[in-house]
């Protein structure tokens, strides 16, 4: 049995407190009125020409806010630009919160999908890691509830995150009117509740059956049940994950659409989940709790990290290249705003998520060295945070983005919460799922 060390408990509580304080600061320091923005812009101008840049970029207003700006322009005249910047800056702490909430939730979801795949494919190597996976998916419930609350707040326009949720914007926007039958608050919230409850339901029963199988020494009744629900879940998951990615990420840019978006988000959450499994397994092994895990298991996880990183890149590039190549104005604005305003994060994440793991994890020997896998894993996780950042920020804060106190605090807040819940869940059951029919094979797994 794993016992939560007081150090780790304190560490995660400190993270949550620091994160909450920083995020509160982020919310408080966001400008309230247009006058605040003007004052900030004046300060920036003194600092050195930054105000000019903002003034020019105000003209090609971020696409998703475009109609809003034009609508206001008639009424307020010259204040339209400041109004636009005000909305971006007010969105900033919300978007930071949302990116971090989604990022940690997607790790739990990715692990859940990986767990189901291990059951459905009857993998012989992974059962020794099942308890780690079950513990990581424990974050699915609280993380999912937090995400749901944020989505509900945005879906009913408590904040400006989703432009389609603003009735005033929709009133002036033919395209959003056309999509209103899908993108409206009530239906949006209902879908979110449906997806989340479906995933949580699978998680609940999978863990329950896994515990029951531990006590069932005679047969494989609970294992077989788990196999069946895993197969059912995977079918449910691939539909709902795809739709969730339209709802929770693609609808930040409601004028834009991409057909492989669901797969792209899936690759991102899948590789983050696998990386987290590897990191937590290596941590527990280093503390002496998982002596039945050998370096062949780490090798297999590292192979998955390597392969899915390349899969992610394949999808990222396929989406980018098809849109870049055909250059259709209604599609390409998505990448134009990203390349103009987010050059470093947009291309930096390709280096972090592709070039780095490609070169580091290619060698078979390196995949067995713990610190190598940890280093690659940390870079991959940071890279996928930047990936989510790139998907959400351009549509919510536009050119006013910055990875500062607010963003880092939001990550720390959820990191603390994630660590606390996951390691708390690890104490709930023995670390070896001893009833699993493949456990002996897995213990002796050797590559």
Partner 1 sequence: MASKVIHALYTDDDVLMDAVKQVRAEHYHIEEVYTPFPVHGLDKVMGLAPTRLAITAFMYGCVGLTVAITMMNYIMIEDWPQNIGGKPSFSYIENMPAFVPIMFELTVFFAAHLMVITFYMRSKLWPFKEAENPDVRTTDDHFLMEVDASHHDLDTMTSFLSNTGAVEIKVIDKQEDNH
Task: Find the farthest-apart pair of alpha carbons in the chain and give their distance in angstroms, rounded.
Answer: 78
- Minimum Å distance from CB 338 to partner 1? 14
CB-nearer residue toward partner 1: 36 or 331: 331
Least separation in angstroms between CB 323 and partner 1: 10
Length of the chain: 447
Token couple for 235: 């079918």
Alpha-carbon gap, residue 207 to 135, rounded angstroms: 9
46 or 446: whose CB is closer to partner 1? 446
Looking at beta carbons only, is 227 or 324 nearer to partner 1? 324
Neighbours of 15 (CB within 10 A): 21
- Taking the complex as a whole, how short is the minimal distance between the CB of residue 324 and partner 1, in angstroms? 5
Nearer to partner 1 by Cβ, of 251 and 333: the residue is 333
Pair of tokens at residue 137: 């998916």
Sign of the Cα pseudo-torsion (112, 444, 287, 306, in order): negative
Whole-number CA gyration radius for the chain: 23
Interface positions with partner 1 (CB under 8 A): 317, 320-321, 324-325, 327, 362, 364
Smallest gap from residue 276 Cβ to partner 1 (A): 28
* Percentages of the chain per state (helix, strand, coil), in multiples of 5: 80, 0, 20
- Minimal distance in Å, beta carbon 320 to partner 1? 7
Q: What's the min distance (Å) between Cβ of 302 and partner 1?
A: 16
Kindly give, in sequence order, each residue whose CB lies less than 8 Å from that of residue 174, ignoring residues fewer than 6 positions away.
none
Is 147 within 8 Å of 42 (Cβ atoms)? Answer: no
| Nearer of residues 198 and 307 to partner 1, judged by Cβ | 307
Q: Which residues of 30-40 are buried (b: 16+ CB within 10 A; e: fewer)?
A: bbeeeebbbeb
Residue 166, helix vs strand vs coil: coil
In this complex, which beta carbon is closest to partner 1, that of residue 14 or of residue 362? 362
Which residue has 């903002």 as its token pair? Answer: 54
When the beta carbons of 194 and 317 are compared against partner 1, the nearer one is 317
Closest separation in Å from C-beta 366 to partner 1: 12
């Amino acid at each position: 049995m794993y016992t939560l060390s007081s150090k780790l408990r304190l560490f995660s509580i400190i993270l949550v407190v620091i994160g909450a304080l920083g995020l509160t600061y982020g919310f408080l320091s966001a400008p309230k009125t247009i006058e605040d923005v003007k004052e900030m812009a004046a300060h920036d101008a003194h600092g050195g020409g930054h105000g000019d840049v903002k003034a020019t970029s105000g003209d090609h207003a971020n696409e998703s806010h475009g109609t809003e700006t034009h609508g206001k322009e008639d009424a307020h005249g010259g204040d339209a630009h400041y109004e636009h910047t005000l909305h971006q800056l007010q969105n900033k702490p919300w978007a930071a919160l949302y990116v971090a909430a989604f990022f940690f939730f997607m790790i739990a979801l990715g692990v859940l999908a990986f767990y189901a795949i291990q059951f459905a494919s009857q993998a012989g190597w992974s059962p020794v890691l099942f308890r780690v996976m079950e513990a990581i998916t424990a974050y699915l419930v609280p993380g999912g509830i937090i995400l749901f609350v944020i989505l509900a707040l945005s879906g009913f326009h408590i904040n400006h995150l989703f432009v389609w949720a603003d009735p005033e914007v929709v009133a002036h926007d033919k395209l959003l009117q056309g999509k209103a039958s899908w993108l409206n608050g009530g239906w949006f919230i209902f879908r979110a509740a449906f997806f989340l409850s479906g995933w949580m339901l699978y998680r609940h029963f999978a863990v329950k059956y896994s515990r029951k199988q531990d006590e069932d020494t005679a047969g494989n009744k609970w294992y077989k049940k788990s196999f069946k629900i895993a197969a059912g879940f995977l079918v449910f998951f691939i539909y709902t994950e795809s739709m969730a990615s339209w709802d929770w990420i693609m609808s930040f840019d409601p004028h834009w659409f991409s057909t492989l978006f669901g797969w792209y988000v899936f690759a991102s959450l899948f590789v983050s989940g696998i990386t987290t499994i590897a990191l937590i397994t290596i941590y527990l092994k280093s503390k002496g709790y998982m002596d039945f895990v050998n370096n062949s298991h780490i090798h297999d996880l590292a192979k998955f990290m390597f392969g899915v990183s390349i899969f992610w890149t394949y999808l990222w590039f396929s989406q980018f290249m098809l849109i870049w190549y055909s250059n259709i104005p209604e599609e390409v604005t998505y990448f134009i705003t990203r390349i103009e305003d987010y050059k470093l994060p947009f291309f930096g994440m390709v280096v972090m998520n592709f070039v780095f793991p490609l070169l580091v994890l290619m060698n078979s020997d390196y995949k067995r060295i713990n610190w190598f896998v940890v280093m690659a894993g940390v870079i991959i996780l940071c890279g996928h945070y930047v990936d989510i950042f790139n998907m959400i920020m351009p549509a919510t804060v536009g050119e006013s983005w910055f990875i500062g106190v607010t963003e880092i605090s939001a990550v720390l807040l959820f990191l603390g919460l994630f660590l606390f819940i996951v390691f708390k869940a690890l104490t709930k059951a023995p670390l070896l799922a001893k009833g699993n029919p493949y456990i002996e094979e897995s213990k002796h797994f050797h590559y």
